[in-house]
Amino acid sequence: MKCYACGNRLGREDFCAACGADVRVYRRIISTSNRYYNDGLQKANVRDISGAIISLNRSLKYNKRNIDARNLLGLCYFERGEVVPALSEWIISKNYESKKNIADEYINFLQSNPARLDTLNQTIKKYNQALNFCYQNSQDLAIVQLKKVLSINENLIIGYQLLALLYIEIKDYEKARRTLLRAIRIDRNDITTQRYLKEINNLITQQAENGETKDGAPQLLAQDIITYQNGNDTIIQPVGTKEKRGFSSIINIAIGLVIGIAISWYLILPQKITMATKENDEKFVAVSEELAGEKASHQESIKQAETLESQNAELTRQIEELTGTNGAATDNDRLLRAVTTYLEDPAQSDSVMEELDSIAPDYLSDASESFRTLYAKMKETAAGDALKDYLDSAKEALKTKDYKNAIEYYTKACALAPDNSDYLMDLAYAYRESGDTDKAVETYRKVIDEFAGTQNAMDASEYLSNR
């Protein structure tokens, strides 16, 4: 465990050995987060995915950097067929811990196959479409769409729940029950699934007691069925009935033969047709996936070409800047102008300094030795004169109460002589007189911080305390 204040590794003490911070409460928070993570892990192990999600979210409320909890939360979402929340958790996890993080593998698993990612996205779109069909009272279309979704994304719990709800609406309770049992196999304790299942069991029992059936089959009376509970399931079973006797065995054999021939005629042929159709469907799916992959690869190539083009344009621009072919002044020109200005009139130190200051520091660090020597020499020569000019101008401006110019010149003087606290004090005075108290206080504080123990620092403190 690391200290929240300085990041140092903590020992057994209730305080950080490096910075002295009290870590008792922090330790308790981390411990609670870990406890919730363990709880979530145990629940996930027994397929209580909903319970695990609640525990893991609580764990992250205590410690958002609990990487294991966040990765497991992403896995739980993924297990429930919810790809986007899963990806979000893994991306956040990777952001907190970029090295040796299993979230990397999960993200790569999804992103390495664009066709799979595209298929998952299609299922999300189809689910949303099915939901819209429900709102438009087109239950049949919604059921067809949801069946397609669940054939591709077999773990989409909300899909099963919506499909079961639709079956309940059209009073096909047995299908609703089977759908919910598939959802239960993925997430045992989802409250919505459990609630629907309980309701369906009640409805089926009630239907059996009333003797109602959906398909018009012979009605069962309450005394004709046995109902009992097996775990979460309610088993409904008719009381055993005896076979009718009295038909002659010959008639039975004849009927059996006729049925056998009919089955061969009507079942084997359609099965062969179905097999051929299925084979064609599989080929179609394979070709579709290949096409989707090719499409993604093509788009990737276009993106790469665009990136290379923009890089090329940027490099061309940089070359033009460096060679001066675009008409803009280069840093070489600036140094030459500074030297020329100084040779023509050494008193124009202000212009010389402006030219020198306009040379980019990045360019300077990469420039040749002779360039840097000439730059340093010019700056040293011009700086002394410029400082004097700035101070004279600043004092003149103060005399005429032109505080704006006084501030400008003292700021320049401070930049040239950062180790002189007198100029800073004068600058603070100019701010004060100009009415900019905030900047004056800031400058006085700078004097106190950077020149502690000097007379100027004491004067600055006095001003701040008397303010």
Q: Alpha-carbon distance 322 to 331, whole Å? A: 8
Q: Which residues pair with 227 in a beta bridge?
A: 236
Q: Which one among 38, 42, 98, 128 touches another protein, defined by CB under 8 A?
A: 128
Whether 453 and 440 have beta carbons less than 8 Å apart is answered as no
Q: Give the residue among 80, 21, 81, 29 at the shortest CA–CA distance from 58.
A: 29
Asked if 187 touches another protein (CB under 8 A), the answer is: no
The interface mask with another protein, positions 76-105, x = CB under 8 A, is ------xxxx-xx--xx-------------
Q: Which one among 99, 135, 218, 401 touches another protein, defined by CB under 8 A?
A: 135
For 447-453, which contacts have Cβ atoms below 8 Å and span 24 or more sequence positions? Answer: 447/421, 450/421, 451/421, 451/424
Part of the chain binding another protein (CB under 8 A), chosen from 113-121, 417-425, 429-437, 441-449:
113-121
Q: Which one among 29, 204, 225, 236 touches another protein, defined by CB under 8 A?
A: 29
Q: Give the residue among 15, 16, 56, 54 at the shortest CA–CA distance from 33.
A: 56
Q: Which one among 37, 196, 403, 409 touches another protein, defined by CB under 8 A?
A: 196
Asked if 306 touches another protein (CB under 8 A), the answer is: no
Site size toward another protein (CB under 8 A) is 41
Asked if 395 touches another protein (CB under 8 A), the answer is: no
Nearer to another protein, 85 or 293 (CB): 85
Part of the chain binding another protein (CB under 8 A), chosen from 117-125, 265-273, 364-372, 449-457:
117-125
Whether 162 and 134 have beta carbons less than 8 Å apart is answered as yes
Part of the chain binding another protein (CB under 8 A), chosen from 30-38, 250-258, 275-283, 378-386:
30-38
Asked if 61 touches another protein (CB under 8 A), the answer is: yes
Using CA atoms, how far residue 357 sits from 84, 331, 338, 429, in Å, is: 51, 10, 10, 26
Part of the chain binding another protein (CB under 8 A), chosen from 121-129, 212-220, 323-331, 382-390:
121-129
* Secondary structure letter of residue 267 according to DSSP: I
Q: Give the residue among 336, 330, 329, 371 at the shortest CA–CA distance from 352.
A: 336
Q: Alpha-carbon distance 30 to 88, whole Å? A: 23
Q: Which one among 121, 274, 307, 318 touches another protein, defined by CB under 8 A?
A: 121
Part of the chain binding another protein (CB under 8 A), chosen from 116-124, 250-258, 328-336, 343-351:
116-124
Asked if 73 touches another protein (CB under 8 A), the answer is: no
Question: Nearest approach, Cβ of 406 to another protein (angstroms)?
Answer: 34
Question: Nearest approach, Cβ of 452 to another protein (angstroms)?
Answer: 18
SS3 per-residue string spanning 38-66? HHHHHHHHCCCHHHHHHHHHHHHHHCCCC
* Secondary structure letter of residue 330 according to DSSP: P
Q: Alpha-carbon distance 148 to 9, whole Å? A: 53
- Chain-centroid distance of CA 87 in Å reads 7
Using CA atoms, how far residue 159 sits from 311, 369, 370, in Å, is: 46, 71, 73
Asked if 204 touches another protein (CB under 8 A), the answer is: no
Question: Nearest approach, Cβ of 295 to another protein (angstroms)?
Answer: 16
Question: Nearest approach, Cβ of 464 to another protein (angstroms)?
Answer: 15
Part of the chain binding another protein (CB under 8 A), chosen from 10-18, 125-133, 317-325, 409-417:
125-133
Nearer to another protein, 82 or 187 (CB): 82
The residue whose two tokens read 């180790």 is 419
Q: Alpha-carbon distance 108 to 120, whole Å? A: 15
Q: Alpha-carbon distance 203 to 175, whole Å? A: 13
Q: Which one among 41, 54, 102, 124 touches another protein, defined by CB under 8 A?
A: 124
Site for another protein in 157-186 (CB under 8 A): 158, 161-162, 165, 168-169
Binding site for another protein (CB under 8 A): 4-5, 25-26, 29-30, 32-33, 60-65, 82-85, 87-88, 91-92, 117, 120-121, 124-125, 127-128, 131, 134-135, 158, 161-162, 165, 168-169, 192, 196, 199
